[in-house]
Amino acid sequence: METNARDRDLVEVMKRYFAVKAEVEDVKSRLEAARQESGEEIGAFYNPRTNLNHSADIVRSHALKQEMARLMDWAEAWGRQVLTPNGA
């Protein structure tokens, strides 16, 4: 199978996507464990303005999820381009 630069770019994007996904899952599990330990309601705990102890992780989680969405958008655009009759 022959690969070109765009194919290799896709591989790198997907590697980054799965690395970010793993980090999101790690942050999410830490936050959820802390929330359950505190007994706080979900809405109150995950508000970075009121939960200063965990606000950095909450904000980081949101930023990582946005990065995942951007990476997947890029991968989907790549896929659409490849599937068009004159896509390469």
pLDDT in tens, 48-70: 999 999 999 999 999 999 999 99
**Domain tally, the chain:** 1
Contact 72, 13 (CB under 8 A): no
Note whether residue 3 is domain-resident. Answer: no
- For the segment 9-37, the average pLDDT, to the nearest whole number, is 97
Note whether residue 45 is domain-resident. Answer: yes
pLDDT band at residue 7 using 50, 70 and 90 as cut-offs: confident
pTM for the full model?
0.82
Residue 21 pLDDT exceeds 70: yes
Range of the domain at 67: 10-83
Contact 38, 45 (CB under 8 A): yes
Contact 78, 11 (CB under 8 A): no
Note whether residue 65 is domain-resident. Answer: yes
Note whether residue 5 is domain-resident. Answer: no
Note whether residue 4 is domain-resident. Answer: no
